[in-house]
Amino acid sequence: MNYSDVVSEDVLKSRNPGCNCTDDCSSESECACLVRSYGRNYSILEHLLLQVLNCTNRLVQYFTNDFTALQVYETATRGRGVQATRDLVPGEFVCTFKGLYLPMTSAYNEAALQFKRYGDIYVMVVREFIGYAHRLVVETAIDGTSMDWEIKNYPPPSAFINHSCCPNMTVVPVRVETDQPIFALFATKDIDLGEELTYDYIEKSGEHIIPSSKRCLCGAENCRRLLPQFI
């Protein structure tokens, strides 16, 4: 048997058409979206169900610009942060990380400029790997402070979500009819009203973590003491 870890171009660029359901996409054996994801692996609350049309699976697609669960506030030691405006449950879709998509070369330059100007970086990079060798196949960068024609207020509150070494959210790349992913944030644990929303800036990375010179002030028991370097 021949084996290759090379991913063909047509696979990387293929469209993601979704399902052909005409009902409410509730059948885990008939809905193509649920079949591919082995059923639902998220939570949806009643107030969201009332807003969607028929399909209850396309949360990220329908609520890309919904930041009602987020409120920007001043933290005691880390500048601005974001807190929850309602109770959230594990697996619940919280928000997307909105902004301007950047080529990787521009992402590094923009991150350096932001750190020099603000002392913070608002660029998120998601790397996707495949195979046992963890072959890097996709790199996507979004500048959370850049203007996006869909957003009415700049920057969106998602730009101010702080890092934590023990976060309560995770980032999932979600594709809607294109190979360019949307960065969706989901709750990983119960989050109370008023609790700070956080994610790990170096989560799930198979790469060696290079620490920066900036102290991490997340306060978690497993704190790494230094924030990860933007690489």
Alpha helices of 120-179 — where are they, by DSSP H? none
Contacts of 17 (CB under 8 A, 6+ apart): 177
pLDDT of res. 213: 82
Q: What is the pTM of this model?
A: 0.76
pLDDT of res. 46: 47
Task: Report the distance separating Cα 108 and Cα 96, nearest Å.
Answer: 22
Per CATH, the homologous superfamily of domain 9-201+209-228 is SET domain (2.170.270.10)
**Terminal-to-terminal C-alpha distance of the chain:** 37
Ranges of each domain in the chain: 9-201+209-228
From the number of C-beta atoms within 10 Å of its C-beta (0-12, 13-18, 19+), residue 183 rates as buried
pLDDT of res. 177: 78
pLDDT of res. 153: 54
Task: Report the distance separating Cα 219 and Cα 198, nearest Å.
Answer: 12
Along the 231 residues of the chain, how does pLDDT read in single tens digits? 454 555 555 544 455 556 777 776 777 777 777 676 656 655 555 445 444 545 566 788 888 889 999 999 999 999 999 999 999 999 899 999 999 999 998 999 999 999 899 888 999 999 988 877 778 889 999 999 876 544 455 688 999 999 999 999 999 999 887 889 999 999 999 999 999 999 999 887 656 677 788 899 999 999 999 988 775
Q: Which backbone phi and psi does 213 adopt, to 5 degrees?
A: -90, 0
Task: Report the distance separating Cα 112 and Cα 95, nearest Å.
Answer: 26
